[in-house]
Structure 1
Amino acid sequence: MTELLIRLFVRDYRNTEQPQVRERYGKFAGIVGIVSNLLLFAMKAITGLVTGSISIIADAVNNLSDSASSVITLVGFKLSGKPADEEHPYGHARIEYISGLIVSFLILLLGVQLLQESINKIITPEETVFNPAAVLVLVLSCLIKAWQSFFYRKVGRRISSPTIEATAADSRSDVISTLAVLLGLIISRLTSFNLDGYMGVAVALLILWTGVKVVKETSDPLLGIAPSSETVDDIYRTILSYEGILGLHDLNVHMYGEGRTFASVHCEVDANEDVMASHDLVDNIERDFLRDKNIHLVIHMDPVVTDDEPTNRLREQIREMLTGISPEITMHDFRVVWGKTHSNVLFDVCVPFGFRYTDSALLDEIANGLYMLGKNYVPVVTVDHSYVPDNREKEA
């Protein structure tokens, strides 16, 4: 059914890499959420008022907030599809994350209000009226919410939308909360013990937990997160497939929303190659990335001396020395300025965040190790920190 609806209402639904198609998916998901949640709200609100059940009314208000969230999602996708302009040269795709953050705050506000009302219902309980129609409404609600969860998850994964995937998680929580209300209604009927207020508290706590989870999921991309290992490996593998690239390092990936990825990397080339030929090579790589992967890539070209035996030998000795300090350390931009009285050894080392050595302590270890290799070596070392999941130096 979900696939049929997508084919009917999302034009050109297969090309999810296109921003226009992605926007259509988002708008469609928003409209589905508005209609279905308003329907659930009306059903539960009427049932809750007839039975006098605070937990059913709480569940109805929860669905009303879901409908409001769908409106925000709809508006967010509309705004995020705006093209880049002078004020926002990286586009507006991150508005989607902001809309998700607004949704999460609404969820938290709702949870606090429902928790307060449910506690009041426990302190001053009111008799609820059991109605078979209420059971039917709650069962139907569970089925609709379960379908919503499946629908949102499918759409969210297809277009890689954290906002819609967060909505899928919210729908799953709604299924559990409605089941809790249904269970409380049945137990109250069988035992004459009024569980309505307690089930309202359970629903409110579940809503709060969902809100906190959604806050984290939608705020992380705004703060800036590391790219996935799959993305990093794909970039490494693709660049190293070009003849003439000896290695690469210092990869940085910045994501300004789905389809708005910017990256920079240092690529090592043979210093003996013609500089114009090497420049043409990196230009081709940059164009290919934009065309094939929709990644705006900027490459810094690092010439590497490959035919100087003393330099090559010292490079390998230092690499072994660094591995002895920690296998997590990698080295790049290595060069030596040979002299009669001393030789300057210049290179960068890259370490992960949370590395056991401070930068100054690591530099001391490297200086001591280099002194053991030769008393006339003067280290000129820069410590970098990796911005991708795997900081190992990549070589062809």
Structure 2
Amino acid sequence: MSEGTSTDDRRRFGRAALVNVLGNAVKIAVEGAAGVAFGSVALVADAAHSVADLVASVVVFLWGGSRYETADEGHPHGHQRIEPLTALFVGAVIVVLGLNLLRESALGLLEGAGVTFSPVLVAALGFAMLDMYVVYRYTAWVNADLGSAALSALVADCLNDIYTTVAAMVGILGVYVGYPILDPLAGALVSVLVVYQGVEIARENVDYLVGAAPPEGERRRIVEAIREHAEVEGIHDLRVFYDGTDLEVEVHVEVDGSLPFREAHDVETEVVSRLRGMEGVGDVHVHLDPSGLGEWKDAPESGDGGERPSE
């Protein structure tokens, strides 16, 4: 990625994160005021959910863009892990807020709902849905090119916001038709969805942070790309794992042992360049071996000179 492209991507990332900050702030103000004024647990729960979203989007805005910083002496592999760490924080905040909202909803069910219906509540929820839909569409549009884990978390958050607001609307309409118990019930449903969303975001980004292996399809894609090179006769000791949201590849590539050193070096360079040019691949480490020799670490402990077949 060129410096100009990286700067432009970071600028677009920042704009998308800022749109989320502003969208959530406006939603909190409108829903919170209406919910408190008319005693709606569902609206207050939905507004409180957006407080978590606001915190998350502020963190993404201030911190998430670090992924676009180049590698330096203190971070020789770059800053790719900053982004999933940011997204993990988003997930954790959402889970904590969701559990708190679930408690408030349970209290409403036990003690009775004190909500008073007003068209203002319906208008506030309608505005909230429109607000989040605009933010969702814009963030998804930007992230279609950037492929950011942090923005993906915000996109999922926006979509869940729309679902939870629909649930809150059901609760308010229940009050209107004479079933006020639907308000805390809607609040409880909102809370469960919030917790589920946070857990899913956290689970996905933990894999990025701990260097987990990618799905088998990603590994197969790497193998096929290496084998496409005409001089490659085999591969072994392949390791593909996440370094942040990027894939890091370590592999031993087998070539004809009679190749001149310079030609062998060119093969290595071409394989590395090919892999680094693939979508989602970051760092690549290739070690060349003469084909057919095997490796000492592949031999059985009995020392019988056995050899693991190439992949």
- Place the TM-score, normalised by the shorter chain, in its bin: 0.7 to 0.9
Task: Measure how far apart 1:256 and its partner are.
Answer: 2.9
The residue identity in structure 2 corresponding to 1:123 is L
The verdict on how the C-alpha distance between 1:167 and 1:243 changes in structure 2, with shifts beyond 3 A counting, is: same
Q: Which stretch of structure 1 is more off in the superposition, 201-210 or 246-255?
A: 246-255
Q: Distance in 2 between matches of 1:292 and 1:176?
A: 36
Task: Measure how far apart 1:208 and its partner are.
Answer: 1.0
**What does the per-residue CA deviation read over 1:251-310, in whole Å, with 9 as the maximum and x for residues that have no partner?**
22344335x6542221111223334432343234335655787744332112125xxxxx
Q: Distance in 1 between matches of 2:40 and 2:269?
A: 67
Task: Measure how far apart 1:246 and its partner are.
Answer: 1.7
Which of 274, 287, 297 pairs up with 2:260? 274
Counterparts of 1:123-142 in structure 2, within 5 Å, are 123-142=110-129
The verdict on how the C-alpha distance between 1:223 and 1:62 changes in structure 2, with shifts beyond 3 A counting, is: same
Q: Distance in 1 between matches of 2:242 and 2:307?
A: 27
Question: Which structure shows the higher helix fraction?
Answer: 2
Q: Distance in 2 between matches of 1:136 and 1:290?
A: 51
TM-score normalised to structure 2 length: 0.86
Counterparts of 1:114-263 in structure 2, within 5 Å, are 114-228=101-215, 231-258=218-245, 261-263=247-249
SS at match of 1:177: helix
Task: Measure how far apart 1:37 and its partner are.
Answer: 0.8
Aligned residues: 310
The verdict on how the C-alpha distance between 1:16 and 1:240 changes in structure 2, with shifts beyond 3 A counting, is: farther
The verdict on how the C-alpha distance between 1:190 and 1:92 changes in structure 2, with shifts beyond 3 A counting, is: same
Task: Measure how far apart 1:130 and its partner are.
Answer: 0.9
SS at match of 2:70: coil
The verdict on how the C-alpha distance between 1:383 and 1:249 changes in structure 2, with shifts beyond 3 A counting, is: closer
Checking the alignment, whether the CA contact within 8 Å between 1:16 and 1:159 is kept in structure 2 is no
**What does the per-residue CA deviation read over 1:18-74, in whole Å, with 9 as the maximum and x for residues that have no partner?**
432332232111100011111111110111122111211111111222111110111
Task: Measure how far apart 1:202 and its partner are.
Answer: 1.5
Q: Which stretch of structure 1 is more off in the superposition, 59-68 or 268-277?
A: 268-277
**What does the per-residue CA deviation read over 1:75-114, in whole Å, with 9 as the maximum and x for residues that have no partner?**
2223333332322211222111111111111111111221
Q: Which stretch of structure 1 is more off in the superposition, 223-232 or 70-79?
A: 223-232
Question: For the pair shown, which has the larger CA radius of gyration, 1 or 2?
Answer: 1
Q: Distance in 1 between matches of 2:30 and 2:236?
A: 58
The residue identity in structure 2 corresponding to 1:141 is A
The answer for unaligned runs of 5 or more in structure 2 is none
The verdict on how the C-alpha distance between 1:242 and 1:66 changes in structure 2, with shifts beyond 3 A counting, is: same
The residue identity in structure 1 corresponding to 2:254 is E
Checking the alignment, whether the CA contact within 8 Å between 1:347 and 1:382 is kept in structure 2 is no
- Report what 1:379 is aligned to: 304
RMSD: 3.2
The verdict on how the C-alpha distance between 1:297 and 1:79 changes in structure 2, with shifts beyond 3 A counting, is: closer
The verdict on how the C-alpha distance between 1:380 and 1:151 changes in structure 2, with shifts beyond 3 A counting, is: farther
Q: Distance in 2 between matches of 1:17 and 1:227?
A: 30
Q: Distance in 1 between matches of 2:92 and 2:3?
A: 29
Checking the alignment, whether the CA contact within 8 Å between 2:213 and 2:242 is kept in structure 1 is no
Checking the alignment, whether the CA contact within 8 Å between 1:98 and 1:218 is kept in structure 2 is yes
Task: Note if 1:55 corresponds to 2:36.
Answer: no
Which of 11, 15, 25 pairs up with 1:38? 25
The verdict on how the C-alpha distance between 1:382 and 1:199 changes in structure 2, with shifts beyond 3 A counting, is: farther
SS at match of 2:304: strand
Q: Distance in 2 between matches of 1:246 and 1:81?
A: 37
Task: Note if 1:299 corresponds to 2:300.
Answer: no
Which of 13, 21, 27 pairs up with 2:14? 27
Which of 59, 65, 83 pairs up with 1:72? 59
SS at match of 1:302: strand
- Report what 1:328 is aligned to: none
- Report what 1:343 is aligned to: none
The answer for unaligned runs of 5 or more in structure 1 is 1-14, 306-332, 336-345, 350-362, 368-377, 385-391
Q: Which stretch of structure 1 is more off in the superposition, 283-292 or 52-61?
A: 283-292
SS at match of 1:380: coil
Task: Measure how far apart 1:347 and its partner are.
Answer: 9.0
Which of 69, 87, 93 pairs up with 2:80? 93
Q: Distance in 2 between matches of 1:194 and 1:68?
A: 30
The verdict on how the C-alpha distance between 1:288 and 1:218 changes in structure 2, with shifts beyond 3 A counting, is: closer
Q: Which stretch of structure 1 is more off in the superposition, 186-195 or 38-47?
A: 186-195
Task: Measure how far apart 1:247 and its partner are.
Answer: 2.2
Task: Report which structure shows greater RCO (CA 8 Å, sep ≥6).
Answer: 2
Identity of aligned pairs, percent?
Answer: 26
The residue identity in structure 2 corresponding to 1:145 is M
